[in-house]
Amino acid sequence: MIANPVGTANASALVERAAGLAALFAGRAAAHDRDATFPFENFDDLHAAGLLNVTVPVEFGGLGAGLSTVCRITREIARGDASTALVLNMHYMRHANIARAQRWPAHVHERICRDSVAGIALINSLRVEPELGTPARGGLPSTTATRIAGGWSLSGRKIYTTGSPILKYYLVWARTAAEEPWVGNFLVPAGTSGCKIVETWDHIGMRASGSHDVVFENAVIPEDYAVDIHPVAAPAPQDPLETSWNGLGISALYHGVAMAARDWLVLYLNERTPTNLGAPLATLPRMQSAVGEIQALLYPSERLIFTYAAEVDAGGALPAGQASLIKYLATNNSIRAVDIALSLVGNPGLSRHNPLERYHRDVLCSRIHTPQDDTITLNAGKMALEECQR
């Protein structure tokens, strides 16, 4: 279990460290975004600052931090570089979820944790496939694990592998090649023979996240690297804490992007003094009102994310659907806030000389993360209608 031993003082120090790195990352973000290059140097800095092992259990040398600390660090890093924050948050979530579920072979779990403490050894899940799309909407993977002497041979293709250039471990969702298949997660070390990255990532947002395809062609792994598999007919129980962590972590990330847009806008409006006005744009009531609207969007998101993150740390999972609704509200508030900023500024906001257009492209990516808005609203509506019938 995540013991959450990071006290208030230590958590504050970690968040301050993250904020300092975010300022450094912000200076690199434009070039990485323009060229769609991966920010390896950011992860060197994160490792040096002790910020890669925040959710690694204490017994293996990590900090075992809770969700509140993770959300605050993620928010701060996202204010500097959203792509870096996304890769980091995925790494945090995987370690937290693995430690909490305790379904892995103990020695394999310890190995990946020790690796992460010793060096830069990130992990992420590989779930989405070209034919299937996101597995959150149902279906079985095409990626297949075949038993061989002493282990498994994996073949298949995964898309949107966030952080692929730097990952040391792939957590691959696959099915076994059997008449009655099992399905689940197989651990594949990056660099395994038969495993290759295909550089396909060329999106408008999160361009530095390295979310390329990864192809497996008879990639051989040890038998005990089938770390969490079960019969298709007997699905593993859904972990409500995983939903809470993932939903609030993603919310914090895009909330951080919106905060960066707000900060840039406030500075711009205070510095920009048109000759026909003779005063900064910040003196205009129209600008003040629009910034107030942005504040009104960001305030409830901040309260929702961190109030409920503290509740998770104090006592467990949020009620069914609540974390998803927070994600829906926070991410849509973030999109709206950045959109208002862009509409105020006009041409300068769309110039690559300024970061606002990048914030806008990045924040739109909040819509692609599971669960998507249509699933959230459908489930919330069904739940409300069913409650009225009781």
Domain boundaries, the chain: 8-120, 126-231, 240-388
Q: What is the pLDDT of residue 388?
A: 79
Tell me which CATH homologous superfamily contains domain 8-120.
Acyl-CoA dehydrogenase/oxidase, N-terminal domain (1.10.540.10)
Strands 226-231 and 182-189: antiparallel
CA–CA separation, 88 and 75 (whole Å): 11
> How much is the average pLDDT of 170-191?
96
Quote the mean pLDDT of the chain: 94
Strands 212-222 and 144-148: unpaired
Residue 2, pLDDT > 60, answer: no
Q: What is the pLDDT of residue 6?
A: 63
Q: What is the pLDDT of residue 262?
A: 98
Assign domain 240-388 to its CATH architecture.
Answer: Up-down Bundle (1.20)
Three-state DSSP at 3 gives coil
**Crossing angle of helices 82-101 and 8-35, rounded to 10°:** 130
Residue 276, pLDDT > 90, answer: yes
CA–CA separation, 359 and 259 (whole Å): 10
Would the CA dihedral through 120, 125, 131, 134 be positive or negative? negative
CA–CA separation, 165 and 101 (whole Å): 27
Q: What is the pLDDT of residue 136?
A: 66
Q: What is the pLDDT of residue 8?
A: 61
CA–CA separation, 383 and 240 (whole Å): 16
Q: What is the pLDDT of residue 320?
A: 74
Q: 126-231 domain in CATH 2.40.110.10?
A: yes
Q: What is the pLDDT of residue 223?
A: 97
Q: Quote the pTM value.
A: 0.95
Residue 33, pLDDT > 70, answer: yes
Residue 45: CB atoms within 10 A of its CB come to 18
Same fold, 8-120 and 126-231: no
Q: What is the pLDDT of residue 3?
A: 45
8 A C-beta contact, residue 356 and residue 343 = no
> How much is the average pLDDT of 241-263?
97
State pLDDT tens for residues 336-365: 999 999 999 999 999 999 999 999 999 999
State pLDDT tens for residues 61-92: 999 999 999 999 999 999 999 999 999 999 99
The CA-based dihedral angle spanning residues 181, 183, 185, 186, taken in that order and rounded to the nearest 10 degrees: 10
How confident is residue 7, by pLDDT bands cut at 50, 70 and 90?
A: low
The tokens describing 20, both together, are 């300092």
CA–CA separation, 300 and 254 (whole Å): 14
CA–CA separation, 103 and 89 (whole Å): 21
Of the candidates 164, 159, 165, the residue with the CA atom closest to the CA atom of residue 131: 159
State pLDDT tens for residues 292-346: 999 999 999 999 999 999 999 998 888 878 999 999 999 999 999 999 999 999 9
Q: What is the pLDDT of residue 1?
A: 40
Q: What is the pLDDT of residue 245?
A: 96
